[in-house]
Structure 1
Amino acid sequence: MAYIRSLICFFAILYTVKLTAQDVSIESPDKNLRVSCSVEQGRLYYTVNYKGAVLLDKSPLGLHTNESNFINGLKFATSDTGKIEKTYEQDRIKVSRISYQANVLTLTLENEDKQLLSVVFQVSNNDIAFRYELPVWGERRSVVVHQEETGYRFPQETTAFLSNMMKPMTGFARTAPSYESAYIADAPIASAKSKYGFVFPGLFKVGDKGWALLSETGVNGLYCASHLREISEDGTFHVAYPDMEQNNGFGSTGAALSLPGVTPWRTITVGSDLKPIVETTIPFDVVEPLYEASQAYKFGKSTWSWIVWQDQSMNWDDQVTYVDLASGLGYPYILVDALWDVNLGKEKLEELVQYARSKNVDLFLWYNSNGTFNDAPQGPRNRMNTSIARKQEMKWLQEIGVKGLKVDFFGGDKQETMRLYEDILSDANDHGLMIIFHGATLPRGWERMYPNYVGSEAVIASEMLIFSQHVRDNEAFYATLHPFVRNTVGSMEFGGVLLNKYLHRENKDRNKRLTTDAFQLATAVLFQNPVQPFALTPNNLSDVPSFEIDFMREVPTTWDETRLVAGYPGKYVVLARRHCDKWYLAGVNAENTPVKIKLNVAMLDGGTRKSISDKKDGTTYQSNIKIDKHGEIDVTIQPKGGIVIF
């Protein structure tokens, strides 16, 4: 369980004044980051400066509710300042111990109806988090927020790294949107056009001034999730709420709040380079656990037959084979995927749990989330979407010894869907079950908020390598984006490390893999998720070099520290991650030519380390690599190749 080790202190408010001027600002503790707010002609704006450079120009703030308008006719009422210092531990993100310091500004505004609204900013050295806080308005103790005016207006020279929001009710069995779209990379923001907008997080390069990552955190069942609209005519990306077409047109597009109430946090991470982007912990710094863990949850690696062997593998013999594979590799889990309910049935499933336990392996089980909002036929269905059925099912799962669930096919960001995510997590914790979400939205601080949450897909993941030639062609390109964009803000259940040369059961003739073995091994480190089902197959034990399997036996899935070593999104990336006292360095290359770079790896503390990399012909080999007295090494990463050093 994630829990706070040391005292969380909120220092007393330094001052509260009645504002006479129509602008106010706040700086980060190191004074490099500055947020300035102003009211101009009754509208609220903010700007962001980092080290003297404008990263966000005059950008709008405000809410439109069913009770009142907080977009026009605004004026400052009061301004409160303070600061926050806290240290906490978290066992399922990129770093295990975090110290967070931020300065706080609370702006209270009054609209033409004499109603108040506060905007709270928390500004740390490279991060901004802000949200709206709504008080009780007279007799009003409930409100519906229809939309936000919140926007981000970047300088014209900015380029964007964005993934489209999928059109609702499209894709497999009308299950979209599921955050599985392609990226635009380094595209001028003026070309950032998409009818349904772009999902969080979004990465922006502001010319030679720096970088900015936009996202949100703290979304639970009390609010909807949001995304970015396409760029407006005046060059602004506005926050957008879910499209009405999601979830078959049923449910809300805004959010219903009990007053007093708060919105989720909007987050902005900035830096002169990409290091603060990759290493940020802001999604977790501003949220707290919503309940205690019912038990100590165990994380680790998993085998998974479905990813390569597909639906046909959902039978007793193949699942036993994959239990044996997990046991032989020392993996604690096997993921039993869709259709187990009809192909195995509950009685045989209980036998499989007992057999796996005899091999020191436990089960994650796949479930369909829906009964009502899409057409996905795979079962079990209608067990997760209602409280009575869900609790009955989870009681049985706990009794037979299942340890976790993978729940699939959500397809929406409405408040009703966020409530379903939360209900599944809460009920699962009551029954000692961990939860992975697949075909799902971006996690928004959930690793800290929900102690039994262990990851979401929300990315073009390994299954699309099986199904799509386009994704196979662009595998390296996407892999060099995820550490800078998607995986910066939350766990990413990718399900990778495909060592078959051809991505199907027979391992020949079709679906040829276009990346090297070293590339695949590197993704085991690059892609962070505390419970990761890897795509290894039984034949890999004999048809790939033994050092590759030895690495996959050893590599952890939880980390105590993460550092960006080098890279550029869409081109190449090198990360270092530490588990206990051991560092793992991993890199991949999406370029068509070798990347030759000198890396500062002082964290490895000198000496000689093992290295797995590629020759020019794509052959993967293991060698020893010596770190020089300056803590540096020269490496070459081949096209669509990789390197791991450990």
Structure 2
Amino acid sequence: MFIAPLLIWYNSSIGWIDGAPGPKFRLNDPETREKEFAWCEENGVKGVKIDFFSGDTNRNLNYMAELLECAARHKLLVNFHGATIPRGFQRTYPNLMSVEGVYGAEWYNNVPTFTDEAASHNATLPFTRNVIGSMDYTPCAFTDSQHPHITTDAHELALTVLYESGIQHLADRPESFLGQPEAIRRFLSELPAAWDDTMLLGGYPGEYVVMARQKGDRWYIAGINGQDCGMDVRLDLSRLPDAKYQATVITDSDDGWSITSPSECPESMHLMPRGGFIIMLETV
């Protein structure tokens, strides 16, 4: 039986403390931090997600370095959520997988801003925040939370390829993912966490973006529409290796998913308003 690696969430206890969830004050003191991370290692925990920092002051950045140093001693991956943008820590501490530093999917839950701006915002991030480094946006929410989605399911799925993060924390409820068609569940279960190559195939900030990412003998081509009207995008795949590919195309239809296996990769794709697509190309 496969058991997924376990990561534990912690409050950094340096930012939002009063009224915030815990556990609190377990990482601030070097001795208690050492004890806590040793417990994680002994119990098979593979990583920690540490939240609620209060900006990029010297105090915060020094604290982050201390956390990474201690986590490395205990073979723990680290994801800094509620934190500033990446500052190059990965060069010294490769156990740092990702950093939030972005207006991410949790804001479907917090305020209604994403109800109107999500698609355009999502189509901007590949050109801005994600260029700096790994981005813990927590993508792919199919169901509504406090505020309704305006993006399609295929748009949400495409974010898992468009956004680079050393570890992708998907944002929806388990029953939402389990209730998807088999092809979608298989796609998510096989989704790589790291890529061998990346190509920007087209786009303009806020309007649309199409990217291709390679892992082994498979290419993932993903695109989203950031606009309120449908659009057609031409796919220039001339930069991909010259090979024979088996294609799987996942996109939107009027009544849900459209999942097809054409004999050749499409030369263009139609995107619904705020829609998206993924094409998987596997060498044969």
TM-score when scaled to structure 2? Answer: 0.91
Structure-1 residue corresponding to 2:45 = 402
> Aligned partners of 1:546 and 1:372: how far apart in 2?
41
Specify which of 219, 228, 250 is matched with residue 592 of structure 1: 228
Structure-1 residue corresponding to 2:270 = 636
Structure-1 residue corresponding to 2:122 = 479
Alignment of 1:416 with 2:59, yes or no, is yes
Structure-2 residue corresponding to 1:562 = 198
Specify which of 459, 482, 494 is matched with residue 102 of structure 2: 459
Specify which of 102, 105, 111 is matched with residue 468 of structure 1: 111
Structure-2 residue corresponding to 1:212 = none
Please show how residues 501-520 of structure 1 align to structure 2 within 5 Å: 502-503=144-145, 511-520=147-156
Structure-1 residue corresponding to 2:161 = 525
Structure-2 residue corresponding to 1:614 = 252
Alignment of 1:434 with 2:77, yes or no, is yes
SS in structure 2 at match of 1:533: coil
Structure-1 residue corresponding to 2:260 = 623
> Which moved further from structure 2: 365-374 or 527-536?
365-374
How many residue pairs align between the two structures?
278
Query: What letter corresponds to residue 93 of structure 2 in structure 1?
Result: Y
Query: What letter corresponds to residue 566 of structure 1 in structure 2?
Result: G
Cα 1:395/1:541, change in 2 over 3 Å = closer
* 1:234-277, Cα deviation, whole Å (9 max, x unpaired): xxxxxxxxxxxxxxxxxxxxxxxxxxxxxxxxxxxxxxxxxxxx
Q: Which has the higher strand share?
A: 1
Structure-2 residue corresponding to 1:379 = 22
SS in structure 2 at match of 1:474: helix
> Aligned partners of 1:550 and 1:392: how far apart in 2?
39
CA deviation after TM superposition for structure 1 residue 623, in Å: 1.4
CA deviation after TM superposition for structure 1 residue 453, in Å: 0.5
> Aligned partners of 1:361 and 1:412: how far apart in 2?
32
Query: What letter corresponds to residue 485 of structure 1 in structure 2?
Result: T
CA contact (8 A) 1:626 1:633 kept: no
Query: What letter corresponds to residue 36 of structure 2 in structure 1?
Result: E
SS in structure 1 at match of 2:6: strand
CA deviation after TM superposition for structure 1 residue 381, in Å: 0.8
TM-score when scaled to structure 1? Answer: 0.41
Of all paired residues, the percent bearing the same amino acid is 34
> Aligned partners of 2:116 and 2:93: how far apart in 1?
36
Query: What letter corresponds to residue 391 of structure 1 in structure 2?
Result: E
Structure-2 residue corresponding to 1:98 = none
Structure-2 residue corresponding to 1:497 = 140
SS in structure 2 at match of 1:583: strand
> Aligned partners of 1:588 and 1:516: how far apart in 2?
10
> Aligned partners of 2:6 and 2:256: how far apart in 1?
35
CA deviation after TM superposition for structure 1 residue 449, in Å: 2.3
Structure-2 residue corresponding to 1:389 = 32
Please show how residues 74-473 of structure 1 align to structure 2 within 5 Å: 359-370=2-13, 375=18, 377-473=20-116
Cα 1:563/1:624, change in 2 over 3 Å = same
CA deviation after TM superposition for structure 1 residue 454, in Å: 0.5
* 1:539-587, Cα deviation, whole Å (9 max, x unpaired): 2356432222221122212101111000000000000001122110000
Give 1 or 2 for the bigger CA radius of gyration. Answer: 1
CA deviation after TM superposition for structure 1 residue 496, in Å: 1.7
Structure-2 residue corresponding to 1:546 = 182
SS in structure 2 at match of 1:575: strand
CA contact (8 A) 2:14 2:53 kept: no
> Aligned partners of 2:50 and 2:16: how far apart in 1?
14
CA contact (8 A) 1:410 1:440 kept: yes
Structure 1, unmatched stretches of 5+, are 1-357, 504-509
> Aligned partners of 1:480 and 1:562: how far apart in 2?
17
Cα 1:416/1:373, change in 2 over 3 Å = farther
* 1:360-389, Cα deviation, whole Å (9 max, x unpaired): 222111111125775353211111222111
Structure 2, unmatched stretches of 5+, are none
Query: What letter corresponds to residue 273 of structure 2 in structure 1?
Result: P
Cα 1:608/1:633, change in 2 over 3 Å = farther
> Aligned partners of 1:455 and 1:541: how far apart in 2?
23
CA deviation after TM superposition for structure 1 residue 536, in Å: 3.9
> Which moved further from structure 2: 388-397 or 528-537?
528-537
> Aligned partners of 1:359 and 1:410: how far apart in 2?
34
> Aligned partners of 2:18 and 2:46: how far apart in 1?
28
Structure-2 residue corresponding to 1:325 = none
Q: Which has the higher helix share?
A: 2
